């Protein structure tokens, strides 16, 4: 499985300064663990958190989960030290905050010059400027390490002075454009966090909204969000049954070479065959997870 094929239904943030949370993350069924050095960590704990994150990755125990460290920005007092420490670590990816445009990606790429070739760069898309630079930021994936985006609706709401309502009305055009820009350049894309971690109905509704928009998964802040998130972003039984029917139908001798056929009373084209194959492959990768 290449990094691009990995299921990324659930990406759990935790403050890297919280040893208990790190231990707990090793036991949770999330696909991605994000050790945060940025907003979840107060200034006085930044150095300790950086050392703890690197030590946690070195210690391992995360099994099949991707382990990502979120750095402070290069425009802060801690960013350069964070990037240097992460570059020397065994993290799968470094997540960088508040990326405004392709120039920022170039600065992070330069700071990671000494990192292993396999280390991915993930970027937070969460500033007003980034809303107008989605395509040029995504295009940097063609030549560098950029492999995934995570939406930061809290920072975006703050800068826009918008309200994070249950339906996220203020952000819908942006969410949709971000997914299209990511897909145009082969990036994975994860939805923003739901702050209502005690209200799992609200969480599930928001996760479903992200799934309908095309996100690969959602970023999370609490262990209770992991199971409902995995459920929302895993192919459902009915969806899989349809996908398998499409694949089987196109495999029939009478349908070979056809572009459009009838399957269970509905039209299926070759593009639906592609979708069906992707869905079945995703379900198989999920099923193969320990």
Ligand X SMILES: CC(C)(COP(=O)(O)OP(=O)(O)OC[C@H]1O[C@@H](n2cnc3c(N)ncnc32)[C@H](O)[C@@H]1OP(=O)(O)O)[C@@H](O)C(=O)NCCC(=O)NCCSC(=O)C[C@H](O)C(=O)O
In the complex, the residues that contact ligand X under the rule CB under 6 A are 12-15, 20-21, 24-25, 36, 39-40, 124, 126, 152-155, 192-193, 197, 221-223
Q: Which residues of 72-93 are buried (b: 16+ CB within 10 A; e: fewer)?
A: bbbebebbebbbbbbbebebbb
Q: Are 193 and 153 in contact (CB under 8 A)?
A: yes
Binder among 152, 192, 217, 235 for Mg ion (CB under 5 A): 152
**Least separation, in Å, of the C-beta of 72 and ligand X?**
12
Q: Are 158 and 128 in contact (CB under 8 A)?
A: no
**Least separation, in Å, of the C-beta of 25 and Mg ion?**
19
Q: Which does 12 bind (CB under 5 to 8 A by kind): ligand X, Mg ion, none?
A: ligand X
The kind and range of the H/E element at 13 are strand 10-15
The kind and range of the H/E element at 269 are strand 266-269
The dihedrals phi and psi of 189, each to the nearest 5 degrees, come to -145, 130
Q: Which is nearer to ligand X, 24 or 262 (CB)?
A: 24
Number of chain positions touching Mg ion (CB under 5 A): 3
Q: Which does 9 bind (CB under 5 to 8 A by kind): ligand X, Mg ion, none?
A: none
- Under the criterion CB under 5 A, does residue 31 sit at the interface with Mg ion? no
Q: Which is nearer to ligand X, 36 or 92 (CB)?
A: 36
Q: Which is nearer to Mg ion, 193 or 283 (CB)?
A: 193
How far apart are alpha carbons 1 and 5 in whole angstroms? 6
**Least separation, in Å, of the C-beta of 25 and ligand X?**
5
- Under the criterion CB under 5 A, does residue 217 sit at the interface with Mg ion? no
The dihedrals phi and psi of 13, each to the nearest 5 degrees, come to -80, 150
CA 87 to chain centre: 20
**Least separation, in Å, of the C-beta of 252 and Mg ion?**
50
Q: What is the 3-state secondary structure (H, E, C) of 24-38?
A: HHCCCCCCEEEEECC
- Residues 74 to 133: which contact Mg ion by CB under 5 A? 126
Q: Which is nearer to ligand X, 143 or 165 (CB)?
A: 165
Q: Which is nearer to ligand X, 140 or 153 (CB)?
A: 153
Q: Which is nearer to ligand X, 68 or 282 (CB)?
A: 68
User: Computed from CA positions of residues 2, 56, 36, 96, in that sequence, does the dihedral angle turn out positive or negative?
Assistant: negative
Q: Which does 21 bind (CB under 5 to 8 A by kind): ligand X, Mg ion, none?
A: ligand X
**Least separation, in Å, of the C-beta of 217 and ligand X?**
14
**Maximum CA pair distance of the chain?**
69
Q: Which is nearer to ligand X, 35 or 273 (CB)?
A: 35
Q: Are 206 and 164 in contact (CB under 8 A)?
A: no
How long a stretch of residues is the chain?
290
Contact residues: Mg ion, CB under 5 A = 126, 152, 155
């Amino acid at each position: 499985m290449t990094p691009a094929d990995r299921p990324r239904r659930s990406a759990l943030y935790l403050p890297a300064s919280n040893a208990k949370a790190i231990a707990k993350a090793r036991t949770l069924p999330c696909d991605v663990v994000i050790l945060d050095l940025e907003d979840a960590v107060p200034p006085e704990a930044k150095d300790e958190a950086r050392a703890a994150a690197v030590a946690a990755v070195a210690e391992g125990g995360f099994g099949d989960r991707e382990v990502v460290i979120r750095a402070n920005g290069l425009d802060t007092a801690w960013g350069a030290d964070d990037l240097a420490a992460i570059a020397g670590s065994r993290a799968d990816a470094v997540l960088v905050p508040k990326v405004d445009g392709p120039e920022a990606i170039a600065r992070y790429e330069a700071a990671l010059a000494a990192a292993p070739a396999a280390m991915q760069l993930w970027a937070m898309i969460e500033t007003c400027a980034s809303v107008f630079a989605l395509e040029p930021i995504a295009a940097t994936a063609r030549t560098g390490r950029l492999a995934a985006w995570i939406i930061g609706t809290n920072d975006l709401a703050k800068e826009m002075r918008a309200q994070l309502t249950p339906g996220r009305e203020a952000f819908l055009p942006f969410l949709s454009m971000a997914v299209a820009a990511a897909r145009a350049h082969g990036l994975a894309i994860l939805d923003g966090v739901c702050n209502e971690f005690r209200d799992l109905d609200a969480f599930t509704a928001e996760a479903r909204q992200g799934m309908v928009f095309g996100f690969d998964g959602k970023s999370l802040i609490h262990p209770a969000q992991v199971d409902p998130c995995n459920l929302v972003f895993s192919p459902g039984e009915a969806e899989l049954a349809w996908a398998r029917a499409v694949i089987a139908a196109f495999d029939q001798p009478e349908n070979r070479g056809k572009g459009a056929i009838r399957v269970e009373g509905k039209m299926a084209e070759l593009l639906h065959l592609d979708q069906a194959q992707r869905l079945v492959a995703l379900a198989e990768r999920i099923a193969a997870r320990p």
